[in-house]
Amino acid sequence: MKNIVLTGFMGTGKSTVGKKVAGKLGMKFIDMDQYIEGKLGMSISDIFFHKGEAYFRETEKEAAEELSRLTGTVIATGGGIVLNPENVKKFRENGIIFCLKADIDTILRNISKSHEKRPLLKQGNIRNTIEKLLEYREPYYKNNDYEVDVSLLTVEQAASVIADIYISTTKTDY
């Protein structure tokens, strides 16, 4: 059974929607950031602060290789996973990649209670930082199989869209 791999910018609901999709389809769920935190015994913020972004990206690449070997799993990736095309290539070998998109107001609302835990939002104006990151990452986020704009969807609706697409594209596997 193919995996469902959720990519997209922070605050687009990858983990929240991913859990709901896994429940709908009877699949396992893994949050990649939590997986990395468990492996290293430190928070993502601490990894960025103490080891740096380059170290985190290398660890993220190793985690992508490990998680891409799973089957029947919904994997919520970190927002920057797509910056390395090798990560996307690995996940695509045994998965269907969905990019969750949202407008900036939705992203700001979704991260309002957790932005201090997000290492890339530690300095400056949060809205401006998000706009710049989105602009830079936009071409990378296009490397997906399906795109789902969650701006006007509830978690339940977004999960249903993804589950329906997954079922229709994997009828022979499912």
Is the sign of the CA dihedral 134, 136, 137, 140 positive or negative?
positive
Classify 28 as helix, strand or coil.
Answer: strand
pLDDT of residue 171: 77
The residue with tokens 């468990």 is 38
pLDDT(5) > 70:
yes
Task: Please give the DSSP secondary-structure letter assigned to residue 84.
Answer: S
Work out the number of other CB atoms within 10 angstroms of the CB of residue 139. Answer: 9
Who contacts 93 (Cβ-Cβ below 8 Å, separation ≥6)? 68
What span, in angstroms and rounded, lies between the C-alpha atoms of 137 and 133?
6
Distances (CA, A) of 60 to 96, 131, 143, 174: 19, 23, 18, 29
pLDDT of residue 111: 83
* Domains, the chain, ordered by start: 3-168 (3.40.50.300)
Q: Using an 8 Å Cβ cutoff, are 56 and 47 in contact?
A: yes
Per-residue pLDDT of 40-84, as tens digits, reads 999 998 998 999 989 999 999 999 999 999 999 999 999 999 999
Q: What are phi and psi of 125, to 5 degrees?
A: -75, 120
Q: With a cut of 60, say whether residue 119 has pLDDT above it.
A: no
